[in-house]
Chain A
C-alpha cells in the first residue's frame, strides 16, 4: 500500500521535527505583555489576533470580550514586534517593544476601521491569507454572511450575481436541482464533466463538484461527449456535489478567476477556484452559541402560458370511446389539443358518467379547466435550522455546527432532507506545533425527486404540455383505475400496447426516484514552526461520498409498461496529502520575502454498482429478485492519481510592489508515460502605483496595478490511453463484447492553456468610489478532444490533440457609497463581465472541422470561423425553415419546407455580457438590500415551445383555427418547385405542426433581467439585549428570484437541460422557483 508507506515517511518526519522543536525550547527568564485593544470610539474589540515576533519565536493570542489580551513566555530584555489584526480593521504593529522583567509591560492599542478595501485580506491559493493589495491576479471574495442570508439550498446559486465573470445556470426549480458554474468561458472540450466547473476547495482540500447521474440504460456515467447521446439519457437530477455544502458553516468564499490559481492547485483549477473557508471558532471569546432558523416558500417563477380555447382531439374532432383510438375519428388516444373549441358543448369525455342502463357515457360539457398545472403544483416549503457552538482561547479554538434542512418540492410527494454536522477545531499542542481538524458529515436524501426531460414520459412539464385542456386534474387524483387491483393507472389516454399518457399523480406517487447520500469531507492539518520564519505543514484531507439510489416505475407506466426497478450505488473518494514548507525571512525594511515549497499526492477513486430489473414479475414489488427478465447489472471502477511538487515565492518591496512566482510539476497517471510529467509556471505582479508615485490624497486614495501570466497544462480522465472492449450483457442475457466506441489515444499529450491578465483597482473620493477592472486573455492549445467521427469510421469518437481555442474578456467591479453617515448609509455594487471565445483551429487538414459536443435536437458544436456559425464554443446548430432569396417561405404540397440535412447556425448560448447591481441601505439597525442580475445576448433553445405548439397546447397554435377547432391555412410563400405563390390549403394542425417542426423557430434571444434578491433585516439594538444572555439577534425577510423580465415565451431563459450540463437548451425541466423566506438569527 503506497499510502501507508507515505504515512510512514510522514510520521518519521514528524518525529524528527519534534526533536528539533524540543531542542528549540530553552529555559529562559520570561515575561508577559498585557494590554487592551479598543476601536476608535473606545469600545473594546474582541477576537483581535495579537502576536509577537522576534527571537526565534512567535507567540499568538487573541483579545477577549473586554479587549484584553495577554502574551506569555516572552524573553525579558528582548525587543519584539507585536502585531494586531482583526478582519475589518487595519493591521497595527508595535515595533521594538522591549519586554521588561516586571509586569508593567502593558499596551493600549486602538485599531482603526478599514477604510479601503485594499487593506482587506483575501484567502488565496493554498489557503494563505494575504493582504488584498499584494495579490497580482483577480480574486473576489464573498462574505459568509451574505451566503448564509441567501439561504439557497444549492450553495452554487448563492454566487449568482455576486462575482464578476462567474456565470451560474440553475437547471430547474426541482428539489436538489443542479447548478452549473463557469468562470471566464470554456477553456476545454473534453472531460466527462463537460461543464467546465471550477475547482472547489474547502479549507485547503479539493472537494468534488461532480454531477453524477444515473442513466436508465446502464449505471455508468453519462458520456456527454458521445454523439449518440440517446439510450443513456439521465432522467433525474441528483444535484452537483458542491451544492450541498452547508452555507451556515462558511466564513468566506474567494473566487480565484484565472488559471493563475491553477499554477498552485493543479490543472483541475484551470477553470478557476472557488475557495471556501469554513468558520473555525477563531476569535470567539467565551462560549458563543449561534442559532439560525429559516423558513422559505417557493412558487414557480414562470409557467408556460397554455391555451384554453380548444381541447383534446385532432382537426376539431374528439369523443371518448376507450382512450385507445379503437374507433376511427374520435381521437381519444392523441396527446394533442387540436380538438373542438371549449364552448361547453356536450361531448362524451373520459370523466363523463356512465349511464348504468346503457353502459354508455353521458356526454358532458366540453369546457376548459384553467390552472391545471397550478392546481397540481404545491408551494415548496423549506425549513432550515442550524446551531453552532464555538469558542477559542490562546491555545484552542473550536466550532461545532449542526444544520437540518427539510424541503418539500413544488411537485407533490417530492422532498429533500439534509443533515450536516461539522467540527472545526485547532489546538496549539506545544508552542511550536499546532493541529487543526475540520470534519463535515452531510447526510442528504430524498424519497422522491421529480424527473425531467423532453423525451421522458414522466417529466412533469411534459405531461402537462400534452394534458388535454378539457381535463380536470382533480379527476386524476385517484390514480389507480378502479378495480384494476393497482395494475393500471387511471388515465384518459391508455392503451397497454400503445399510447399512454401518464397521469401526473400516478407518476408523483408511484414512480419514485429516491436517494440517500452520505458524505464526509475534511482534513487534519499539523503546522510546525521549525524556526520563527520557517514553517512546516502536513495535511491530509478527504472527500468521500456514497450515494444509494433507487428508481421505481410502476406497472402500466408509459415507458415501463411492465414496471421497472433500478438500484445504483455511487461511490467517490478523493484523498489529498499535502506538505508545505514556508519560509519568510525578514530581509530589511524595504524588502519582504516569502517562499513555500510543497508537494501533493492526489488520488481519486470512483465506483459504480448498479442493477436494473427491466421488467417486474409481480407488479409493483420493487426488488431486484422480482425481475421478469434477466437483470442488467454492472459495475465500474476508476482510479487516478496525480503527484505534484510546487513552489511559490513572493518578493515585496516597501509594501508597494509585489512579485509572485510559482511553479508546479505534475505527474498524472491518466497520461501515457512519455507525456505524464508536465511543468507549469506563473508570475504575477502587483504595484500600488498611488503610493509608489506619491499620488495618494483625499480624493485619490489608491491605485493598484496588477498583471499576471501563467501557463497551465491539463490531463484527462483515466483509461483513455489504451483501446479496449466493452463487455456487456447482450443477446438473450449472454455476455458479449464490442470494441469501445470511443477510441483512445496512446500518445495523448496534456493540453495547455497560456493566459495573462491585467487589471487595476482604484479607490477615489475618500474611498467612496471603487473601480476594479480586469482584462484577460487565454489560449488553449493541444486541446484534448474526443473528435466526432462519422458513423462509417465505426467509432463515435477518437481522442486527439487537435486545435486551438482562445478566450478573452473583461471583468468590472464598481462599488460606491453615495451616502454615508452615522445613521444611514447607501452602498452600490456593480459587477459586469463578458467573455469572447474563438475556435482558432481544429484539424482541418485531417478533415476535422467540427466537433459535436452535445446533441439533443439542437446540436452544440465547436466549429472554426470558416464554417457556418460564429466560430466560437457554445454554437448551436439545427434544422430550419427554408426561405428563398426574397425572404419567401418555401412550400411543397402546401407544407412549409425545412432543411435538416445540413444544419444551420442557430446562435450561441453564451451571453454577450452578464451583469448585476446590488444596493445596500442601512438605517440604524435596519438593512434593506436588493440585487438585480441578468444577461444580455446568448440564445436559448426551447423544447417546450416546439412540443407545445405542435401539440396544440400553446397559444401560438391558435391562429387560423376556426370556431370548431378545424380550419385550413394556405401558407404564405412560394412553392419550392415552381416558384409560384403557394396555393395549396392545409389543415391548421398539419400546417403548424410542420411549421414548428424545426430547431431554429424555438431558439430565442436569452437576454433577461431578474430581481435576484430582496432582503430586509433588523438587528436588535445592543442596549435591548444588555441584561440578557443574548449577544445579538436579528430577523430578516428575504425574497429570491422575485421578478423576471425576458422576451422568451413560456420559460425562464436561465435554464439548462439535463441537470445543468446542457446550458442554452431547455428540455422541460421544472420551472425555476421564486422564494420568500424569513429567518431569525440569535447569538448567545
Chain B
C-alpha cells in the first residue's frame, strides 16, 4: 500500500510541475509597453474626430449648416437630452487615458518632446470639451486605472482654462529647450516638425485666453504672447495652421468619393446637410470667393448649367430649424423645390482636411485684441486683411484641376474681393466684421464657430419659428457620465443640484 501512495505522490507532483503560471498569464497579443509614438495617431485623430463631428451639431446651432424642415428634430429644432451628446463627450474624454499613458512613457524614456505633445493634445481635446460642456475633470481625467480615482473630480471652467494655460506653458518651455535635431515619429499633424507644434501650443493659448476675455482681463497675457515672438512663437503662415489631412480610407466622405454620383456634380444633392442661409447671405454680401468652395450650386441650376453653359449657377441657403410643415409652407410660398438649395460643396468633400486651428483664426483674434486695446502691437486693418487672406489661402488650387472641377480661390478673386470697399476693415464696426470672418472661417468647425458666437453674439442668428427650445449654449453631459457620483456632487455644490440643460450658459459666455 505504501508503494502505491508513493506513486500517487509522484503523480500529484506531476500535476504541480507545470506551475510557471505567471508567465502563462502574460497576454501574448497585447504588449505591456509600446513605443510612445504609437499612441500619437489615435490621440490626434480622436481629438480631430470630435471636432469634425461638431460640424453637424454645434455647426447647426450656430447655423453653419441647416437641415430641411423635419429631418433634424434634435439638432435643428433642439429636442435634446444628455443622450444626444453621448459620443461628443464619451469619445473625447476617453482619449485622455492614452494621453496620460503618453506622459508616463515619455517620462520613463526621458523623451520630453512626447511629454510636450501629450500636454498639447490634452489641452486641445479638453478645450473642445470644456468649451461645449463647461465644468469638466481636468487634473484627474482619464485616471480610472489609479486606485481611488475611478471617479474623477470636476473642476470649474475658469480653473480648467488656467490649468490648460499652465500645461501649454510647460509644453512651450519643453519644446524650446529641446536640443536641435530632435523629432517625433508618427506625427500625423505636423509630420514631426516640433517648431510647428510649439507654435500650435502658443496659438492655442491665445484661443483660450481670448475665450475668457469677456469674463476676465487677459490683456497682459495676450500682449505677452503676441509681443514676444521669440519666447512665444505663434502661427506665422497658413502652413503653420493645425490641419489634419485625411486619407480616403478614413475620410468622413470616403464612401462618397468611392461612389461619385453620375451627374458629375461631385456632390450628393439629396444629402440633408445643406448650407445655411446665414452663411450664404454673409458670403454673398461680400461677393466672397469662398461661396463656391463652401457650397455646391443648387441641383436645378447645376443641371440647367450643364445643359446650357449660359445658365448661371445659383447658390441658396437653407433656413435653419424649420419644422416639416414650415418647410412645406416655405416651398409653397416661394415656389422653390428641394433642388433649389445648396448642399456642402465638392471641394470640402474632396478636400480631405480638418482645420483644428487656422492662421486666419489667430489673426482675427489678434485683430480683436488690437481693436480692444489689449496692448498688442500691430495695425488692425492690416491684421484683418491678412486674416481674411489667410482664410482664402486655405483653398489654393490643387494640382491642375480647374475651378469647376475642384473650386479654389485665385489671386484675381482675392484682389476683386478687396476692391470692394465694404470688404475693407471699418473701425466702427470692426469687432462685428472680425466675428463675422471668424464665423465664416470656422465653417464645419462647429465648436469654434459656436464658441465664438456665444462669446460675441455675432452673427445674429434666429432660431426656427417653432423650435422646441432656444438655441443651445451648452452640450449636456452624456447620459453615461450623469451617474458619476463626483459629477452629482459637483452639481449639488455648484449648480444648485440641477444637472445643467442645453440652455444654461457655460462660464466663459457673458
Listed in ascending order, the chain A residues whose CB lies under 8 Å from chain B are 2, 5-6, 9-10, 12-13, 16-17, 227-228, 315, 324-329, 333, 495-498, 530, 534, 561-562, 579, 581, 597, 599-601, 615, 628-630, 635-641, 643-645, 667-673, 676, 718-719, 721-727, 730-741, 743, 787, 789-796, 798, 846-850, 879, 892-893, 895, 899-903, 987, 990
B14 on the A face (CB < 8 A): yes
Alpha-carbon distance between A848 and B148 when the two chains are bound, in angstroms: 12
Closest residue to A538 on the B side, CB-wise?
B11
Pair A795/B21 contact, Cβ less than 8 Å: no
In the bound complex, do residue B270 and residue A333 qualify as a contact, i.e. CB atoms below 8 Å apart?
A: yes
Whether A736 pairs with B258 at a CB distance below 8 angstroms is no
Whether the Cβ atoms of A725 and B30 lie closer than 8 Å is yes
B255–A561 contact, CB under 8 A? yes
| Minimal beta-carbon separation of A1061 from chain B (angstroms) | 21
Q: How far apart are the CA atoms of A329 and B487 in the complex, in Å?
A: 46
Per-residue contact bits, chain B 31-67, to A (CB 8 Å; 1 contact, 0 not): 1111000111110010000000000000000000000
In this complex, what residue of B is CB-closest to A795? B144
Query: Nearest chain B CB to A519's CB is how many angstroms away?
Result: 24
Given contacts A798-B144, A847-B486, 14 further A-B contacts (CB under 8 A): A228-B90, A327-B338, A327-B339, A561-B258, A637-B28, A669-B24, A724-B31, A725-B30, A725-B31, A731-B41, A794-B98, A846-B150, A901-B81, A901-B476
Assembled-state Cα–Cα distance A561/B499 (Å): 42
Q: Assuming A669-B25, A798-B145, is B83 touching A900 (CB within 8 A)?
A: yes
Encoded as 1 (CB less than 8 Å from any A CB) or 0, chain B from 1 to 42 comes to 000100110111011111101101111111111100011111
Contact A726 B7 (CB under 8 A): no
B74 shortest CB reach to chain A, Å: 11
Is B89 part of the contact surface with A, judged by Cβ < 8 Å?
yes
Residue in A closest to B14 when the chains form the complex, CB atoms = A9
* Interfacial residues of chain B within 247-291, with CB under 8 A of chain A in the complex: 247-250, 255-256, 258-259, 261, 268-271
How far, in Å, is A484 (CB) from chain B's closest CB?
12
Whether B30 contacts A731 by the Cβ 8 Å rule is no
Cα A519 to Cα B42 in complex, Å, equals: 40
A847 to chain B: which residues have CB within 8 Å? 150-151, 484-486
Residues on B with C-beta less than 8 A from A795 are 97, 142, 144-145
Is B479 an interface residue, CB under 8 A from the partner?
A: yes
Asked whether A791 lies within 8 Å of B480 as measured between CB atoms, the reply is: yes
Name the prevailing secondary structure of the A interface residues.
mixed
Known: A739-B97, A901-B81. A733 touches B338 (CB 8 A): no
Within the complex, what minimum Cβ distance (angstroms) separates B228 from chain A? 35
B192 CB to nearest A CB, Å: 14
Q: Determine which of B136, B270, B324, B483 lies in contact with A987 in the assembled complex, contact meaning CB atoms within 8 Å.
A: B324
Binding site for A on B (CB under 8 A): 4, 7-8, 10-12, 14-19, 21-22, 24-34, 38-42, 45, 70, 79, 81-83, 89-90, 93-94, 96-98, 100-101, 136-137, 141-145, 148-152, 186, 188, 247-250, 255-256, 258-259, 261, 268-271, 299, 324-325, 328, 331, 337-339, 466, 468, 476, 478-487, 499
Task: From A10, A668, A737, give the contact of B34 (CB < 8 A).
Answer: A737
Q: Which of B8, B93, B100, B259 contacts A792, CB < 8 Å? A: B93
A-B contact pairs, 13 of them (CB 8 A): A10-B11, A16-B7, A326-B338, A326-B339, A561-B259, A597-B8, A601-B18, A669-B24, A730-B42, A731-B42, A731-B188, A792-B487, A903-B479
A737 contact set on B, CB distance < 8 A: 31, 34, 38-39, 42
Q: How many whole Å from B115's CB to the nearest CB in chain A?
A: 17
**In contact, A498 and B484 (Cβ under 8 angstroms):** no
B21 CB to nearest A CB, Å: 4
How many Å from the CB of A1082 to the closest CB on chain B?
47
Q: Which one of A9, A496, A736, A737 has the greatest number of beta carbons of chain B within 10 Å?
A: A737
Say yes or no: B137 contacts A792, CB within 8 Å: yes
**Interface pair A790/B483, CB less than 8 Å apart:** yes
Return the chain B residue nearest A581 by Cβ.
Answer: B8
A599-B15, A793-B150, A794-B96 known; A736-B39 Cβ under 8 A: yes
The complex places the Cα of A329 from the Cα of B38 at a distance, in Å, of 50
B268 A498 Cβ-Cβ under 8 A = yes
- Closest residue to B77 on the A side, CB-wise? A893
Q: Which residues of A contact B325 (CB under 8 A)?
A: 987
A792 touches B142 (CB 8 A): yes
Do B481 and A722 have beta carbons less than 8 Å apart? no
User: What chain A residues lie within 8 Å of B476 (beta carbons)?
Assistant: 901
Residue of A601, A792, A846, A892 contacting most chain B CB atoms (<10 Å): A792
CB < 8 Å neighbour of B18 from A2, A736, A741: A2
Q: Is the CB of B466 within 8 A of A326?
A: no
Q: How far is the CB of A36 from chain B (nearest CB, A)?
A: 39
A839 to B: closest C-beta gap in Å: 16
Neighbouring A residues of B483 by C-beta, 8 Å: 790, 850, 902
Task: Tell me which residues across on chain A come within 8 A of B144, comparing CB atoms.
Answer: 743, 789, 793-795, 798
Q: Are A722 and B24 in contact (CB under 8 A)?
A: no
In the bound complex, do residue B39 and residue A738 qualify as a contact, i.e. CB atoms below 8 Å apart?
Answer: yes
Contact of A901 among B42, B137, B261, B499 (CB under 8 A): B499
Min Cβ gap B32→A in Å is 5
Interface contact A792-B41, CB-CB below 8 Å: no
CB closest residue in chain A, given B248:
A629
Do A599 and B145 contact each other (CB < 8 Å), given the known contacts A497-B259, A736-B42, A792-B152?
no
Contact check, B101 vs A739: say whether CB atoms are below 8 A apart.
Answer: yes
**Is B152 within 8 A of A793, CB to CB?**
yes
Q: Which residues of chain A come closer than 8 Å to B136, judged between CB atoms? A: 792
Q: Tell me which residues across on chain A come within 8 A of B14, comparing CB atoms.
A: 5-6, 9-10
Contact B32 A736 (CB under 8 A): no
Taking a contact as CB atoms under 8 Å apart, the answer to whether A722 and B25 are in contact is yes
**Complex-state Cα separation, A638 to B29, whole angstroms:** 8
Contacts of B487 in A (CB 8 A): 790, 792
- In the complex, which residue of chain A has the Cβ closest to the Cβ of B32? A724
Q: When chains A and B are docked, how far (Å) is the Cα of A731 from the Cα of B247?
A: 9
Which listed residue (A227, A324, A722) contacts B26, Cβ 8 A?
A722
A497 touching B268 in the complex, CB below 8 Å, given contacts A725-B32, A734-B41: yes
Of the candidates A326, A599, A732, A901, the one whose C-beta lies within 8 Å of that of B269 is A326
Give the chain B neighbours of A740 by CB distance below 8 A: 30
- In the docked arrangement, what's the CA distance between A6 and B28, Å? 24
Q: How far is A672 from B21 in the complex, measured between Cα atoms in Å?
A: 9
Query: Is the CB–CB distance between A719 and B27 below 8 Å?
Result: yes
Q: Are B21 and A497 in contact (CB under 8 A)?
A: no
Instruction: List residues of chain B with CB within 8 A of the CB of A639.
Output: 24
A contact residues around B82 at 8 Å (CB): 900-901
Given contacts A722-B26, A736-B39, A900-B83, contact A791 B481 (CB under 8 A): yes
A498 in contact with B270 (CB, 8 Å): yes
Q: Are B145's CB and A794's CB within 8 A?
A: yes
Q: Pick the 10 closest A-B CB pairs, nearest first.
A: A794-B97, A793-B144, A794-B142, A328-B338, A2-B18, A719-B27, A669-B21, A731-B41, A724-B30, A847-B485
Task: Give B411 Cβ to nearest chain A Cβ, in Å.
Answer: 33
Contact (Cβ within 8 A) B258 A730: no
Q: Is the CB of B11 within 8 A of A599?
A: yes
The answer to whether A789 and B150 touch across the interface, beta carbons within 8 angstroms, is yes
Q: In the complex, what residues of B have CB within 8 A of residue A561's CB?
A: 255, 258-259
Which of A13, A643, A727, A850 has most B Cβ within 10 Å?
A643
When distances are taken between beta carbons in the complex, the residues of chain A under 8 Å from B32 are 722-725
What residue of chain B has the Cβ atom nearest to residue A739's Cβ?
B101
On whether A791 and B93 interact (CB within 8 A), knowing A630-B249, A847-B150, the answer reads: yes
Report B-chain residues with C-beta under 8 Å of the C-beta of A743.
Answer: 144-145
- On chain A, the residues within 8 Å of B25 by CB distance are 640, 669-672, 718-719, 721-722
Complex CA–CA separation, A224 to B153 (angstroms) = 28
Question: Given A737-B38, A794-B100, does the pair A892, B30 have CB atoms closer than 8 Å?
Answer: no
Query: Cβ of B30 and Cβ of A730 under 8 Å apart?
Result: no
Residues of chain A within 8 A (CB-CB) of B150 are: 787, 789, 793, 798, 846-848
Give every chain A residue within 8 A of B79 (Cβ-Cβ). Answer: 895
Is B24 a contact partner of A601 (Cβ separation < 8 A)?
no
Name the one of B21, B31, B89 contacting A676, with C-beta atoms under 8 angstroms: B21
**Which residue in chain B gives the minimum CB-CB distance to A676?**
B21
